[in-house]
Structure 1
């Protein structure tokens, strides 16, 4: 079996209970992998376990906990890690934010990626492993209603690229990639953001969504994650992900 073939490998997915994480976990199980799914909501993980069977291992917990990152990487030595967990941003104009609401995605999204990438480098993960960090298209375009969200997601991309450089320098053979999904109302987070932007612009929500064109779905994200884990591209470090697929950025 090729080390690039997800079948028969172990995959860790954070934020696995909902949205893009759920789509990713499902896609890897259907590709023949065992998926260790980490999330805060034990009930949601158990429902996914009932749907996917024993190939999905539910692990309730906090993805920002460095000890949990070290424990799961050491226990499972996964071939692929997909870091999807993140806080739902508070959607309001800048002047209506507090520092706590503004910084929420720094304290969850960035903190998670920092701890997991650090653990992947220091253990280290086996050569040939792939670690994918979910950023956002907002990292390229901004997101004026979501406080520090866009900046946090841009930092995730930078940190992933820093880790890739360290993997090369230390000859670890670990691939680090950042994926920047476009806004999509097919998840709870995306639906809330679309509703907020439609209201802020004074347009009908259905019209706002219709103008977005083809929508990125959790299923499409899952397929893209499987493709990325199985791919041979050694040069591209970051990808924009839309309904049309992965595009290097």
Structure 2
């Protein structure tokens, strides 16, 4: 079955790996991000089954237009990956109100906007899959990162609520806890002395996301926890 997927929040790390994996599996993919130069480059590399849609996921009008662009190119959406994340690495006494709100808007509010658009398509069709990218901070608040932790806790709650609401309608909602650092190009460059085994391989993570899309309705995963094998927990 050919899927039409939207990956909301595409960068040169896991977002790019997800896009490549989904295209390799026969999907047609809409790529959302604010960085249009990178999106165009990635889209050209992926070929005719990917379309770059520069989109600020915190802007309702841009999200609506972005989904319309994907529908025009490939048809109704039946897979959504809410991958956009707002980094906020300040503690309670140092964080600005603007920084806190930006983290929440990117991770949670943006996911709400994208989910509403995608779910309308899924309900009108034969169901679909919504995957949220979470983090360690979604289950254990990180000291000195109150904005990021609050946003990721919100995302996890959204996923659980949506799974209960939409599961009976044939929509699989899953939350992925990325419990460790991802070996993105920037991380490899900034931490060259660290062992590769200490990081999660973004291509391997993408394989797990695809497994969620392919799962039989009789045995859906709500939460998937991924970590490098050398990590202590």
Give TM-score scaled by structure 2 length.
0.82
Q: Is the 8 A contact 2:128 2:170 kept in 1?
A: yes
2:225 aligned residue:
240
Point out where structure 2 has 5 or more consecutive residues left out of the alignment.
none
1:23 aligned residue:
17
2:169 aligned residue:
172
2:111 aligned residue:
113
- Residue 117 of structure 2 aligns to a residue in which SS? helix
Q: Is the 8 A contact 2:78 2:118 kept in 1?
A: no
1:201 aligned residue:
none
2:77 aligned residue:
78
Point out where structure 1 has 5 or more consecutive residues left out of the alignment.
2-7, 196-204, 245-249
1:152 aligned residue:
151
Q: Is the 8 A contact 1:105 1:149 kept in 2?
A: yes
Aligned-CA RMSD value: 2.7
Summarize the alignment of residues 200-211 of structure 1 with structure 2, pairs less than 5 Å apart.
209-210=194-195
Give the C-alpha shift of residue 146 in structure 1: 2.0
Per mean C-alpha deviation after superposition, the further-off stretch among 119-128 and 76-85 is: 119-128
Q: Is the 8 A contact 1:39 1:62 kept in 2?
A: yes
Q: Is the 8 A contact 2:56 2:63 kept in 1?
A: no
1:98 aligned residue:
96
Give TM-score scaled by structure 1 length.
0.77
In 2, Cα distance between equivalents of 1:139 and 1:88 = 13
Q: Kindly provide the CA deviation profile for residues 95-139 of structure 1, in whole angstroms up to 9, marking residues without a partner as x.
A: 322222233311211111122223344553533300111121211
Q: Is the 8 A contact 1:106 1:148 kept in 2?
A: yes
- Residue 135 of structure 1 aligns to a residue in which SS? strand
- Residue 103 of structure 1 aligns to a residue in which SS? helix
1:221 aligned residue:
205
Give the C-alpha shift of residue 65 in structure 1: 2.6
- Residue 141 of structure 1 aligns to a residue in which SS? coil
Identify if the C-alpha distance between structure 1 residues 213 and 94 changes in structure 2 by more than 3 Å, giving closer, same or farther. farther
1:198 aligned residue:
none
1:130 aligned residue:
129
Per mean C-alpha deviation after superposition, the further-off stretch among 58-67 and 105-114 is: 58-67
In 1, Cα distance between equivalents of 2:182 and 2:175 = 21
In 2, Cα distance between equivalents of 1:52 and 1:122 = 27
